[in-house]
Amino acid sequence: MRQALSKNENMTELAIDTENLTKEYPYGFLHLKKKASLEGLNMQVETGEVFGFIGPNGAGKSTTIKLLLRLIFPTAGSARILGKPIGDIDMHRDIGYLPEQPYFYDYLTAEELLDYLARFHDLTAADRKARIQRMLKKVGLETAKKIQLRKYSKGMLQRVGLAQAILHDPKVVILDEPMSGLDPVGRREVRDIILELKRDGKTVLFSTHILSDAEMLCDRVGVIVGGKLRGVGAPEQIVDMKSQGMEILFELPGQSTTPLLSKATRTGDRYRLQVPEEEIYGAIDQLRAAGARILSVVEMKATLEEYFMNLVEADRAQAAAVEVSGK
Amino acid sequence: MKRIAVVALNTFREAVRDRVLYNLVFFALVMMAASILAGQISIGIEQTVIVTLGLSAISVIGLLISVFIGVGLVSKEMDKRTLYALLAKPVRRWEFLLGKFGGLVLTLAVNTAAMGMGLFLALLYAKQTLERGDATVFVAVYFIWLKLALVVALALLFSCFTTPLLAILFTAGLYVVGLYVQELRDLPKGVMSPGMAAFTKWLSYLLPNFENFNVMALAAHGRQVPGAFIVQNTLYAVVYCTLVLTTAVAVFSKRNLK
């Protein structure tokens, strides 16, 4: 399993390496029952790659991240970051972390918060000051730096959170749902920052349930569902790359008609027709004969989203089956 | 040490920016002003009335701050998850905990010193002269501060493993019990079974003895406090705080955050 999940064996040094990482939470009146939030996670993130951790809510993404940062402790298993055990405090010098839905001290301004958190790193006062100004500019909070965080919107807090995560120039950046709470402009800016980190040779692990972001940014993704890692690889690798047919987008003028219309989906003045690959030319000929104006022809591939949804549905079906059988 | 100081100074800054704190200190100063009035109608015992009322106000306000802010020191950070970004930095949990403790104890030092100075000025205004014994007011304020540090340590310990409400109840409960430790020691051992006698004896040493820090009567009558007693109380507070904080660190270091 471990070998199967590793990308390949000739890879460089691992930035993050987990081995059988497991987290169980006790529940029930006397805490005698246990529910696994994460089951035997074996995951490797290479140095310099952008790794997307995707899964539905409650899948175990945040649990994994919190385990890596020792905010919670594993029931079993171990993990290393940059070759150091996660219990080693020195490891924290080289990592940056953005918590999910970050919340910071109300009474501080963005500038003060960054200064406070930067003081835990070995930076000179002048260096600290320069970095803070640079970061505030980078995340678009230069004009709001003197405002107390209690007056910040969710998106602005997310930006401050990102700034504190990368302020000390860490080698590994762990971002828990970095796009959450951001408007399209903010999401774009975060994407740009992640790409910039990658260009600078940093390792980025981020969790998300926004699959388009993962497809766009990640070298590899890990799909986690129900506390189990279900697949790791490049987005185009883990989904089935075989063509699933062709889609024709066309307009049909006036009273024209064609038998193919019964198979097409209409959106406004436009039609969308999905046909098997071998029938594409026949369909185009028929549409042209009917006077249709063909706008585009694209190959249909399974998306990461479909792959993801299949896994979620399979997991739910399995859970339901277990419940029915009473096991 | 540097990291503890960074957390402590931020805790101090948080307290300084908290309006509730100013309200409490303002209330204490009003109490002292009122004590002057009360003193003026208490013929012959002005000093007793002013000092007793003033020290009581400092103690009560300090206790409110210690218990409520003390319990919130860690629980608020866990609840609001402000702790997450911080613990991702190269800072150990015990450093965070000691920093929080140090920050509030520093805040209390400034507050009790300010209130103590207010009391001293009220006393000076009422008496118009100063005697050597009046300095006992400062010793009494120092003892209140030591007591408050102990209360903060207990509040911090309880907040590490239980809900804020229970932590407040436990801390307040232990404080009240701690005022009667001497009574526990004075129980007639002769009528007890040997097991019970040993239990009450050990319990009386295990519980924090808050009554030891009360020198209000001496201060109210302008009598001096022996130097050895000051040293003894200081050592007691330091040792007890160390034990409580060590336990708190042990609990907090293993605690899973939400």
Average pLDDT for runs of 10 along chain A of length 327? 44 82 86 85 92 86 92 92 90 92 88 93 90 90 87 87 92 91 83 90 88 84 87 77 80 82 86 90 91 88 71 76 61
Q: Does the beta-carbon distance from B84 to A117 stay under 8 Å?
A: no
pLDDT, tens digit, 9 for 90 and up, residues B203-216: 888 999 998 898 88
Judged by CB atoms closer than 8 Å, whether chains meet at A120 and B91 is answered as yes
Minimum-distance CB partner of A92 among B13, B17, B90: B90
* pLDDT on residue A76: 93
pLDDT at A240: 62
Asked whether B172 and B151 are in contact (CB, 8 A), the reply is no
Other C-beta atoms within 10 Å of B190: how many? 6
pLDDT 10s digits, B219-229:
778 788 888 99
Residue listed under structure tokens 């160390």? B242
State whether residue B70 is helix, strand or coil: helix
- Is A66–B257 a contact, with Cβ atoms under 8 angstroms apart? yes
On whether the CB atoms of residues A253 and A291 are closer than 8 A, the answer is: yes
In this prediction, residue A322 carries a pLDDT of 66
3-state DSSP assignment of residue A250:
strand
Contacts of B85 in chain A (CB under 8 A): 97-99, 102, 104, 117, 161, 164-165
The pLDDT score that the predictor gives to residue B258 is: 78
Is the CB of A66 less than 8 angstroms away from the CB of B80? no
**What's the pLDDT score for residue A22?**
92
- Residue A187 exposure: Cα atoms within 13 Å on the Cβ side: 14
Task: Considering only residues A231 and B21, tell me which one the structure prediction assigns the higher pLDDT.
Answer: A231
Spans of all domains in chain B: 2-253
Token digits of residue A34? 């246990």
How buried is residue A78: exposed, middle or buried, by Cβ count under 10 Å (0-12/13-18/19+)? middle
Residue A159 near residue A141, CB atoms below 8 Å = yes
Max mean pLDDT among A296-300, B6-10, B32-36 falls in B6-10
Task: Determine, for residues B87 and A164 on separate chains, whether the beta-carbon distance falls below 8 Å.
Answer: no
CB contact under 8 A, B254 and A117: no
Share of chain B above pLDDT 70, in %: 99
Look at B86 and A66 and tell me if their CB atoms are within 8 Å: no
pLDDT at B146: 96
Rounded to the nearest angstrom, the minimum Cα separation between B163 and chain A is 17
pLDDT tens for residues B93-133? 999 999 999 999 999 999 899 888 888 888 888 777 777 77
Range with top average pLDDT, B44-48, B64-68, B185-189, B195-199: B64-68
Q: What is the model's pLDDT at position A112?
A: 93
The model carries a pTM of 0.82
Give the gap in angstroms from C-alpha B75 to the nearest C-alpha of chain A: 14
- Cβ-based contacts of A70 with chain B (< 8 Å): 87
Looking at beta carbons, which residues of chain B come within 8 Å of A99? 81, 84-85, 88
Q: What is d(CA A40, CA A5) in angstroms, rounded to the nearest whole number?
A: 13
Determine the pLDDT at residue A7: 43
Query: Residue B187's pLDDT is what?
Result: 80
Q: Do A121 and B257 touch (CB under 8 A)?
A: no
Q: Give strand ranges (E) for chain A.
A: 14-27, 33-46, 50-54, 76-81, 84-85, 95-98, 172-176, 203-208, 220-225, 228-233, 246-251, 265-267, 270-275, 293-299
Contacts of range A70-73, beta carbons closer than 8 Å, 24 or more positions apart: A70/B87, A71/B84, A71/B87, A71/B88, A71/B256, A71/B257, A72/A23, A72/B256, A72/B257, A73/B254, A73/B256
How is residue B252 annotated by DSSP? H
Residues of B in contact with A73 (CB under 8 A): 254, 256
What chain A residue is nearest to B14 in terms of C-alpha separation? A107
Q: Mind giving me the DSSP string for A14-33?
A: EEEEEEEEEEEEEESTTS-E
pLDDT for res B163? 92
Q: Which domains does chain A have, with CATH numbers?
A: 2-235 (3.40.50.300), 243-301 (3.30.1490)
Per-residue pLDDT at A225: 85
Token pair for B189: 């051992």
Nearest CA-CA partner of B214 in B59, B17, B101: B59
Phi, psi of A225 (to 5 degrees): -140, 130
CA B65 to chain centre: 9
Q: What pLDDT score does B126 carry?
A: 77
Residues 6+ apart with CB under 8 A from A205: A15, A16, A45, A51, A53, A65, A172, A173, A174, A175
> Residue B110 CB: number of other CB atoms within 10 A?
13
**Residues in chain B whose Cβ is within 8 Å of chain A:** 3, 6, 10, 13-14, 17-18, 80-82, 84-92, 254, 256-257
Give the three-state DSSP class for A265. strand
ipTM score over 0.90, yes or no: no
Q: Which residues between 215 and 234 in chain A have a beta carbon less than 8 angstroms from any beta carbon of chain B?
A: none
B29-65 burial by CB neighbour count: b if 16+ within 10 A, else e?
A: bebbeebbeebeeeeeebbbbbbbbbbebbbebbbeb
- Please give the single-letter amino acid code of residue B6: V
